Chains A and B, each alone.
Chain A
Amino acid sequence: MSASPPQKCPESTRPRWGVIAAWIGLIGLLGVVAIGMFQKAQGTVSIGQPVPNFTLTTFDGETYTLDELRGKVVVLNFWASWCKPCEQEAADLETAWRFYQPGSEVVFLGIAWTDTESASLEYLSRFDITYPNGPDLGTRISQAFRTTGVPETYIIDRNGVLAYLKLSPFLSVGEIQAEIDPLLAP
């Protein structure tokens, strides 16, 4: 009565490389999809977090690097010439820039997002915008900030940390000043 169960030959214990490779491929693919979905779901840069460094070359050929602006408050505005809401705040941003320009403690930077250069220059001329503006070449800056559209304004404190984020147009100069002034307090 000692009938023993069937015994497997050593061949059946060989690893099934095809199955292993298929699982690795599937898990890898799911990983890539998950990373993509996570990045999309992250949203914009968060208030209180350091903002990514970037270099902006303006339409005039000047270069601004965020890290070199430490110690100053930076107002970073994403806009486009085809964006009607951007037109609402264009004059207010320029007025605010002219208000803070003499103190040299606040830097305004405009970034034209997915715009053509001729249309951007026409827009800047139409609203008499004098603060530095440049194209978002390769959409690298907007991708680093994970922008969701235009207009969007990021106010960065003296330490390079995001202090305020506006995902719609400013409605008045006072609204802009109300966000900048506390950051200038010693």
Chain B
Amino acid sequence: MRNISAKVLLALALSVAAVLLPSETVFAQQPTPSDDQVNAIAKQLYCPVCENIPLDVCPTQACAQWRDLIREKLAAGWNEQQIKDYFVDQYGDRVLGTPPVRGLNWLAYLIPPVAILAGAYVLFMALRSRQNPTEQPDSTMLVPPPADEYVSRLEEEVKKR
């Protein structure tokens, strides 16, 4: 009787283990990444074949392969930055939607704000000069010529007449 209960217990334990073990195996695997997860990274990348079309909406086979590659890397547990770094290593900086700040790339970040500031300054100066059109020239900039004695006498004579 004791032997039978031990066997029952063992069978129960095995049954429980049989139920639990496969579910643990499923949890250990990376779930298949959704299209949204893939596209969240793909929209930051550009394939050199189809310039100016983000990878998430590019219809070519080349881009479809790249999206599959992103899905593979996500399934393998890579994060967004690792995947972007991988694409840069494989295909160069130009796959990135936002160029890294190095080399001549910094011009892309510097020029627009400088141009906006310069434009705002020019606009401000133009508006200010329009608001004060009768502004006298700076007296320090121009110095009248010395008075001519002959001219003074001539003017006096004219006034007397």
A153 within 8 A of partner (CB): no
Contacts A116-B69, A138-B90: A3 and B145 contacting too (C-beta < 8 A)? yes
Question: Which of A2, A22, A119, A139 meets B94, CB within 8 Å?
Answer: A139
A104 within 8 A of partner (CB): no
Chain A contacts for B143, CB-based, 8 A: 6-7, 9
Selected A-B contacts with CB under 8 Å, 8 pairs: A1-B148, A1-B150, A5-B145, A6-B145, A32-B104, A116-B66, A119-B65, A143-B92
- Nearest chain-B residue to A83 (Cβ)? B62
Distance, CA A161 to CA B44, complexed state (A): 39
B20 within 8 A of partner (CB): no
> Which residues of A, 8-28, contact B by the 8 Å Cβ criterion?
8-9, 11-12, 22, 25
Contacts A82-B60, A82-B62, A140-B92: A3 and B142 contacting too (C-beta < 8 A)? no
Distance, CA A82 to CA B60, complexed state (A): 9
Contact across chains for B65 and A82 when beta carbons are under 8 A apart:
yes
> Which residues of A, 79-94, contact B by the 8 Å Cβ criterion?
80-82
Chain A contacts for B142, CB-based, 8 A: 6-9
Contact across chains for B145 and A80 when beta carbons are under 8 A apart:
no
Chain B contacts for A135, CB-based, 8 A: 90
Interface residues of B, dominant DSSP: helix
Contact across chains for B49 and A114 when beta carbons are under 8 A apart:
yes
Contact across chains for A9 and B91 when beta carbons are under 8 A apart:
no
Interface string of A134-157 (1 = CB under 8 A from B): 010111100100000000000000
Chain B contacts for A8, CB-based, 8 A: 141-142
Chain B contacts for A140, CB-based, 8 A: 92
Chain B contacts for A11, CB-based, 8 A: 140-141
Question: Which of A3, A5, A25, A82 meets B61, CB within 8 Å?
Answer: A82
Distance, CA A118 to CA B76, complexed state (A): 15
Contact across chains for A32 and B107 when beta carbons are under 8 A apart:
yes
B114 within 8 A of partner (CB): yes
Distance, CA A4 to CA B144, complexed state (A): 9
- Nearest chain-A residue to B64 (Cβ)? A82
Contact across chains for A138 and B144 when beta carbons are under 8 A apart:
no
Contacts A32-B107, A82-B60, A116-B65: A12 and B141 contacting too (C-beta < 8 A)? yes
Contact across chains for A3 and B148 when beta carbons are under 8 A apart:
yes
Chain B contacts for A3, CB-based, 8 A: 145, 148, 151
Contact across chains for A116 and B141 when beta carbons are under 8 A apart:
no
- Smallest distance from the beta carbon of B98 to chain A beta carbons, Å? 18
